[in-house]
Amino acid sequence: MATRRIFGASGPSLKQSTWTSQAPLGCYQRRWAQVHDLRFLASHPRHNSVHEKYKEKLERKVREKGLSSVDELKKIYTDEIDALRKRATVPGANAPLSEQSPPTPEKVDSSVPYQAPPAPEPQQHPAQAKQYTKASKDGVKTL
């Protein structure tokens, strides 16, 4: 069903379709563009900036030790750097919560992945069970 609007006597007529329950095809297009959060890049300087910040101090230390480059200085101090990194770890933030393996239950056969639960205890004697059900039905009145 279409409606027509006429703008003026000599103006062009525009054809408009009525809105249907189907969505236009444009809604089904996917957006393949990636969105980058530039706020993070702007607020966090690159790792090279640390080297540039302490460049003079590192070069002075290299001259004091009689080395040729900063890389040689890093090789000498690798043990200290690793020790500092281990002390700086925070469990849950930049390290696992526990470095230990989870505790294992005792007396478990390792060949069986799942231990079946223990067998249920036997019920009362059948005669006692019948008496119990008969007694409970005596107090109940049916409609």
Find out whether 73 and 54 touch, Cβ atoms under 8 Å: no
* pTM of this structure: 0.34
Is 46 inside any structural domain? Answer: no
Mean pLDDT of the region 93-101:
71
Is 76 inside any structural domain? Answer: yes
Distance of CA 89 to the CA centre of its chain: 20
Is 117 inside any structural domain? Answer: no
Q: What is the pLDDT of residues 6-26, one digit of tens each?
A: 555 554 545 555 555 555 555
Number of domains in the chain: 1
Cα distance between residue 78 and residue 109, in whole Å: 44
Contacts (Cβ under 8 Å, ≥6 apart) of 81: 74
- Greater pLDDT, 117 or 87: 87
Is residue 57 pLDDT above 90, yes or no?
A: yes
Is residue 82 pLDDT above 90, yes or no?
A: yes
